[in-house]
Amino acid sequence: MPLQKIQLKPGLNKQTTPTGAEGQWIDCDNVRFRYGEPEKIGGWQELSQYKIAGPIREQLTWTSLDGKKYAALGSSKVLIIYYESSYYDITPLDTDREKTGCTFTTVNTSKTVTVNKVGHGFSIGEYIVFSSVTAPVGSGYSASDFTTNTFEVVNKTSNTFTITMATAATGNSSASGSATCTPYITIGPIAQSAAYGWGTGTWDLSTWGTERPTTSITLSPGSWSLDNFGQILVATVHKGKTYTWDPSAAGRLSTRATVLTGCPTSSIMTLTSDRDRHLFAFGTETTIGNPSTFDPMYIRWSTAEDYTDWNPTVTNSAGTFRLDTGNTIIGAIQGKDYILVLTDAAAYTIQFIGPPFVFSVRQVGTNCGCLGQHAMAYVQGAVWWIGYGGGFFAFDGTIKQLPSLVQNYVFTTDGDNPGINYDASELAYAYHNSLYNEVGWFYATANSSQVNARVVYNFIEDTWAVGSLARTAYSDALTYDKPYATQYSTTDTPTFPTINGVTNTYGASRYWAHETGYDQVDFNGNSTAIPAYVMSGDYDISEQGLGGDGQLIMRVRRFIPDFKSLTGNAVITLFFRDYPANDDSTPSEVPPSITGPFTISSSTTKVDTRVRGRQVSFKIENIGTNQNWRYGTLRLDVEAGGRR
């Protein structure tokens, strides 16, 4: 038989078996589909040598009125500004829990200092700062040893807690000196956890788009909503207070964010409406300043152009509204000329109509709730999100559920599907990569409590891909010329802010510029390979008069690779088997016969194989640094070899 070209449909099909997906791709990692073919994704380069405390859950980039570029990064421990390649700690302090009259006990040659304060109420792992310090007598410490850094509470009793100093004491002191101690605000835990009530539990395909009346609830992870009111950063702790930071203020980079006066003190999130500049609070208090009146379906908005005026009067445009379908507002996002609000069960639009009603609130869909606060993105005139019960949705004036051939893979654990951890739903993060017409989601698989996977959709070419790239927050190339994203490790020890006695209890995050080069490059210039691969479904032959598809054994004498672009080397491996893999009820699976791997360079013309089998599939990958590829075609030199 002549050389046969294997042409594959772009995008993944993970809904069927490898044999059923003939002529299609079935698996990949660190790959995108573009112009109908798979290619390795771009690399990423670290933006700072420092690791930020805790997992970053939200990111906002913007340009101030004087042209300066900023990124705000909100983690479960801190709020950070990134400006001109440096980090600045603007985490608010919890002055309501401030303690005066603290004293110090030191031990000669020890770095451990005991802080004495009856009923201090601080927890192990909290970050604290000292002010108004009088150094303990005879300890060898000065006041600046306590005031220049942040400290982590290492141990505690009800009336004492310990900190770790940068240097050891040179003398003993007991309950000496004095200080005021102020903790950082409490943002929340590093992971989502289950309790009892409404809202968790595993879903299956039969429950998509329906409410989950279970007896469990979720305790939310520490998270933020970040937005601008003009050039001012508005930062709201999930189910907490709202803070602001002004980039034009004197000493801005050494000034912490401060609480927004007049605003509700407990809200799921806040958002500024673009055209009319009202600040919205979603899932908030029915009585401002009283957290006990928190209602997860209640909405408030400030008067236009004034984010401190929230009480509705006949002379302002502030107002309130309560949604009625669902149990809680999950999140909201600015659309083209509307705000789309998603509960756990429905979708609403809010549109400015002017006085006397100011806003029109209209329900536009049911059984289409959103998975998490950050699981929605506005892209190309539509809002895209993952459904609360599974599935992918878009709203461009009407609600659409997107057909997807990776749906079972993402949302179920059938067979070897990794599924999604619905008990970590609020960690899901939607992103837009405008450089490649992609909208995607980072999420935690069923066996993980942290983000460890992604699914991505090319909305121009209608193709899907999956992979192991894990990012907890992502900003498109807009303020900066590349996408910026954060990566979290539970075992890393933070190096920013400078925290005396810091541990790795809460892990740390790194900050990357994406679509740069071919590799992962750390701040010091060290490169690590980004392994990427794509796997085909099975291919078989038929010959007129000799039988149907898969009837004939094929002999493959050689193959001819064809890459549209190839930097460095790629690797091709062929997999042969006589019969499809056994189903899941069979204890063991017949392994394929593996031929290769074969290293392919730009000078490779052909590869001799001399192998046989009923079906063949192939894998294209790279494993080394400075390697990049874009697939073209693969031609096999095959001939029929009988029916055995």
Percent pLDDT > 70 in the chain is 92
CATH 2.40.30.20 at 95-183, yes or no? yes
Kindly provide the residue ranges of all beta strands, DSSP E only, lying in 203-273, ordered along the sequence.
Answer: 217-219, 224-229, 232-237, 242-245, 258-259, 269-272
Tens-digit pLDDT profile for residues 270-279: 999 988 999 9
pLDDT at 209 exceeding the cut of 50: no
Please give the mean pLDDT across all residues of the chain: 91
- Asked whether residue 216 carries a pLDDT value surpassing 60, the answer given is no
pLDDT (average), residues 474-490: 98
Coil, helix or strand at residue 139: coil
Which range is least confidently modeled, 217-226, 339-348, 450-459? Answer: 217-226
- In this predicted structure, the answer to whether residue 551 has a pLDDT above a threshold of 70 is no
Other beta carbons within 10 angstroms of residue 622's beta carbon come to 24
Report the pLDDT value the prediction gives residue 542, as an integer from 0 to 100.
57
Does the pLDDT at position 547 exceed 50? no
For the ranges 77-86, 207-216, 352-361, the lowest mean pLDDT is seen at 207-216
Q: How confident is the model at residue 197 (pLDDT cuts 50, 70, 90)?
A: very low
What amino acid occupies position 115?
V
Residue 339 has pLDDT above 90, yes or no: yes
CB environment 286-312: b (16+ within 10 A), e (fewer)? eebeeeeebbbbbbbbbbbebbebbeb
Q: Give the pLDDT of residue 203.
A: 37
Band of residue 612 on the pLDDT scale cut at 50, 70, 90 = confident
Tens of pLDDT, residues 45-83 = 999 999 999 999 999 999 999 999 999 999 999 999 999
Distances (CA, A) of 107 to 81, 139, 147, 436, 633: 37, 8, 20, 60, 72
Closest CA to 237 of 263, 270, 262: 270
Average pLDDT over residues 394-405: 96
Q: What is the CATH number of domain 52-91+216-516?
A: 2.130.10.10
| Helix, strand, or coil (residue 58) | strand
- Give the pLDDT confidence score for residue 4 in this predicted structure: 82
pLDDT at 641: 64
Contacts of 543 by beta carbon, 8 Å cutoff, 6+ apart = 1, 552, 640
Beta-carbon contacts of residue 326 (< 8 Å; ≥ 6 apart): 211, 297, 343, 344, 345, 346, 369
Averaged pLDDT, 363-367: 96
Q: Give me the pLDDT at residue 111, please.
A: 97
User: How far apart, in whole angstroms, are the C-alpha atoms of residue 9 and residue 110?
Assistant: 67
With a cut of 90, say whether residue 193 has pLDDT above it.
Answer: no
The H or E element containing residue 354 is: strand 346-354
Q: How far apart are CA 539 and CA 518, in angstroms?
A: 31
The per-residue pLDDT for 549 is 60
> CA 117 to CA 607: how far, in whole Å?
76
End-to-end C-alpha distance for the chain, whole angstroms: 19
